[in-house]
């Protein structure tokens, strides 16, 4: 009863607020994807208003703005976009400050077209070390030097090259050219932690551009943010270091979005959908191939992709088909850094929380499938 009365009182207020939202809400910054939203929100703090235009719980692969949303986008002082490939609806939007993050972070992280075969090793050899040399060491010079000196470099030196030498080239040779892997792989460039760090830098620059009086504040928060991502990355590298003699393959009953992430850390991720978009049609052949691979690799734990509706149906089919053969699987969530759900948003989930959950679940799946080290 009290609730009903409250509703009666608050309803007119809500309606007024809603109307005023539609007609007059203006944001300083619009972000199109959750990661850059979280970066912008953290770096700008209370100084700027930031809105994620992608509704919570929605796949960016399915999103197209309504005319109201389009107006909010156009009225913002800054648009942080992922790429015109992911967000083609932004191509024709005229705006003074459209920060195309894919273009801004540069081809080092996004352009893999020339990297099949030979270039690829060059890429890892140069860029990767450069990265460690610049960002990482600068960043870590106080606390983490020892750690970087040992683990991180070892990891790059050993695993990464081995991995590239063996698997990756094979992979390139076979599938790659046939399936235009690279064109589409670029679409998820942000899942690579070094690309994500490059994005943080560009987001901070773009924010300082529209709010130069807060330059110092934004740059300080940018460093905090990068430090946090690096610490997650270091933790995962340290864990994976114990498995460097193992050819780790992780399985996800979801779309193919974390290839770049996995490659960076020197393992392989096998996705249920070979395609790079989640709503691609899943054939029964693809489903049975995936189940065969799960069995062949003696997989006990695997990932499912939160948010997207197709995943639970597929996971059910996979579990029940394997259960009929006496094979029990454990499914854990792996966020592919696309978005969060509305309930996660109401609990103020951050990108750091996503990293924390992902790392915990990656550790659990690896321990379950390959044993504790
Ligand atoms: Zn995706």
Q: Three-class SS of residue 27?
A: coil
* Bridge partners of residue 268, in order along the sequence: 249
Q: Which residues pair with 81 in a beta bridge?
A: 100
Q: Which domain holds residue 291?
A: 108-370
In a domain, 86, yes or no: no
- Distance (Å) from CA 184 to ligand 1 centroid: 10
Q: Which tens digit of pLDDT belongs to each residue from 355-370?
A: 999 999 999 999 999 9
Looking at residue 254, its pLDDT comes to: 87
Dist CA 58 CA 35 (whole Å): 14
Report the number of distinct structural domains present in the chain.
1
Residue 242 confidence (pLDDT) above 70: yes
Tell me, what CATH number does 171's domain have? 3.40.50.1980
Mean pLDDT for all residues in the chain:
80
Instruction: Report CA(320)–ligand 1 centroid distance (Å).
Output: 26
Going from the Cα of 276 to the center of ligand 1, the distance in angstroms, rounded, reads 6
For residue 32, being part of any structural domain is answered with no
Residue 167 within a domain: yes
Q: Give me the pLDDT at residue 239, please.
A: 98
pTM summary value: 0.75
- 160 CA to centre of ligand 1 in angstroms: 24
- pLDDT tens, 265-310? 999 999 988 777 665 677 888 889 999 999 999 999 999 988 765 5
- A 10 A CB-CB count for 295 gives 12
Distance 275 CA to ligand 1 centre (A): 9
Q: What is the pLDDT of residues 314-345, one digit of tens each?
A: 788 888 888 898 899 999 999 999 999 999 99
362 CA to middle of ligand 1, Å? 19
In a domain, 346, yes or no: yes
CA 270 to centroid of ligand 1, rounded, Å? 14
Give 155 or 215, the one with higher predicted confidence: 215
Q: How far is the CA of 117 from the centre of ligand 1 (A)?
A: 25
Burial of 158 (0-12, 13-18, 19+ CB in 10 A): middle
How remote is the CA of residue 152 from the centroid of ligand 1, in Å?
Answer: 28
CA distance 98 to 77: 9
CA of 338 to the centre of ligand 1 (A): 7
Q: Which two tokens stand for residue 318?
A: 């996979």
Query: Can you say whether the dihedral through the CA atoms of 210, 214, 216, 222 is positive or negative?
Result: negative
Return the pLDDT at 249. Answer: 97
Ligand 1 mean position to 373 CA, how many Å? 32
Measure the CA angle with vertex 324, ends 320 and 328; round to 5°.
65
CA of 204 to the centre of ligand 1 (A): 24
84 touches 91 (CB < 8 A): yes
* Nearest CA among 237, 264, 277, 229 for reference residue 109: 264
Give Cβ neighbours of residue 165 (< 8 Å, ≥ 6 apart). Answer: 121
Residue 87 CB partners (closer than 8 Å, separation 6+): 32, 60, 81
For residue 306, report the distance from its CA to the centre of ligand 1, in Å: 12
For 327, which DSSP code? Answer: -
Please tell me the distance from the alpha carbon of residue 150 to that of residue 153, in angstroms, as a whole number: 6
Q: Any alpha helices (H) in 25-89, and if so which ranges?
A: 34-44, 67-75
Asked, for residue 252, whether it belongs to a domain, the answer is yes
């Amino acid at each position: 009863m009290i609730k009903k009365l409250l509703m009666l009182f608050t309803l007119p207020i809500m309606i007024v607020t809603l109307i005023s939202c539609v007609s007059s809400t203006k944001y300083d910054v619009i972000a199109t994807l959750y990661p850059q939203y979280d970066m912008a929100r953290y770096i700008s703090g209370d100084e700027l208003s930031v809105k994620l235009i992608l509704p919570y719980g929605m796949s960016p692969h399915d999103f197209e703005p309504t005319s109201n949303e389009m107006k909010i986008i156009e009225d913002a002082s800054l648009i942080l976009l992922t790429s015109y490939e992911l967000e083609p609806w932004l191509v024709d939007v005229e705006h003074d400050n459209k920060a195309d993050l894919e273009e801004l972070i540069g081809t080092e992280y996004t352009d893999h077209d020339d990297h099949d075969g030979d270039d690829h090793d060059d890429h890892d050899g140069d860029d990767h070390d450069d990265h460690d040399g610049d960002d990482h060491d600068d960043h870590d010079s106080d606390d983490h030097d020892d750690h970087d000196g040992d683990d991180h470099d070892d990891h790059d030196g050993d695993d990464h090259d081995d991995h590239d030498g063996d698997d990756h080239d094979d992979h390139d040779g076979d599938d790659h050219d046939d399936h235009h892997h690279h064109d589409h792989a670029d679409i998820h460039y942000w899942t690579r932690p070094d690309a994500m760090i490059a994005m943080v830098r560009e987001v901070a620059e773009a924010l300082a551009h529209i709010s130069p009086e807060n330059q110092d504040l934004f740059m300080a928060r940018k460093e905090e943010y990068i430090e946090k991502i690096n610490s997650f990355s270091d933790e995962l590298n340290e864990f994976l270091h114990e498995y460097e003699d193992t050819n780790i393959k992780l399985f996800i009953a979801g779309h193919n979005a974390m290839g770049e992430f996995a490659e960076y850390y020197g393992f392989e991720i096998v996705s249920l959908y070979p395609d790079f978009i989640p709503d691609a049609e899943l054939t029964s052949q693809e489903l049975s191939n995936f189940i065969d691979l799960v069995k062949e690799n003696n997989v006990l734990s695997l990932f499912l992709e939160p948010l997207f509706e197709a995943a639970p149906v597929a996971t059910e089919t996979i579990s029940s088909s394997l259960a009929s053969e006496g094979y029990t699987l454990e499914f854990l969530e792996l966020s592919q850094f696309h978005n969060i759900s509305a309930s996660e948003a109401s609990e103020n989930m951050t990108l750091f929380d996503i990293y924390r959950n992902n790392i915990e679940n990656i550790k659990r799946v690896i321990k379950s499938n390959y044993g504790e080290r």
